[in-house]
C-alpha cells in the first residue's frame, strides 16, 4: 500500500485560511466559532471563513497532525476545542521565515527600482 502524503508539506506555501487558523491557535486552544471570529479579526475583516471552509481546513490540519483535539470542561460533540501541535508550530515558523524572506526581497527590489 502506498504511503499517504500529508496535505501540506514544507515545499508548498500555506493558503491564507490555513495560515490564519494556525496563527489563531498559536495564542490559545480554540473551538470552531472562536476560530471563525479570530480569523476575521486577524485579517482585519478581510477574510470571512464559512463553516464549510473552516472545517475543511480543520479536517486537513487534523489529518496532517498539525493540530489536535483538546479536551476541556465544556467539551461536547457540538463544541470541540483544537490546539496547535509542535509539528504545526514548526511548519508555521517555516512559513513565517519564507514570508519574511519574500518581504525582504520585495522591499529590496522596490528600493532599487525607486533609486
Partner 1 sequence: MRYAYETLLRLYPNSYRAIFGKEMTSVFELATGDYRRHGLATYARFLCTELLGLLTGAFAMWTDEYISRSRRRPCTPFLISLLAGAAITVVFQGGFYLGMGQHKTTHAPAPQTPQTTPDLLLPLVIAGGVLVFISVFSAAFVWNMRIIGNRTGRLKPIWMPGTAASARRRP
- Comparing CB distances to partner 1, the nearer of 2 and 111 is 2
CA 115 from centre of chain: 37
Question: Which of 44, 52, 71, 114 is in the footprint of partner 1 by CB under 8 A?
Answer: 52
Tell me if 67 contacts partner 1 by CB under 8 A: no
Q: Compute how many residues bind partner 1; rule: CB under 8 A.
A: 21
Tell me if 29 contacts partner 1 by CB under 8 A: no
DSSP annotation string for 7-22: SS-TTSPPPHHHHHHH
Q: Are 49 and 39 in contact (CB under 8 A)?
A: yes
d(CA 96, CA 108): 18
Tell me if 11 contacts partner 1 by CB under 8 A: no
- The SS3 call for residue 83 is strand
Binding site for partner 1 (CB under 8 A): 1-2, 4, 32-33, 36, 48-56, 58-59, 77-80
Amino acid at each position: 500500500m502506498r504511503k499517504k502524503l500529508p496535505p501540506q508539506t514544507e515545499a508548498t506555501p500555506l493558503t491564507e485560511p490555513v495560515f490564519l487558523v494556525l496563527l489563531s491557535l498559536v495564542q490559545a486552544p480554540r473551538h470552531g466559532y472562536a476560530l471563525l471570529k479570530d480569523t476575521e479579526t486577524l485579517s482585519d475583516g478581510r477574510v470571512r471563513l464559512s463553516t464549510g471552509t473552516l472545517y475543511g481546513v480543520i479536517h486537513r490540519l487534523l489529518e496532517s497532525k498539525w493540530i489536535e483535539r483538546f479536551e476541556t470542561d465544556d467539551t461536547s460533540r457540538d463544541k470541540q476545542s483544537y490546539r496547535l501541535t509542535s509539528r504545526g508550530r514548526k511548519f508555521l515558523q517555516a512559513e513565517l521565515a519564507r514570508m519574511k524572506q519574500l518581504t525582504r526581497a520585495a522591499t529590496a527590489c522596490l528600493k532599487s527600482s525607486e533609486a
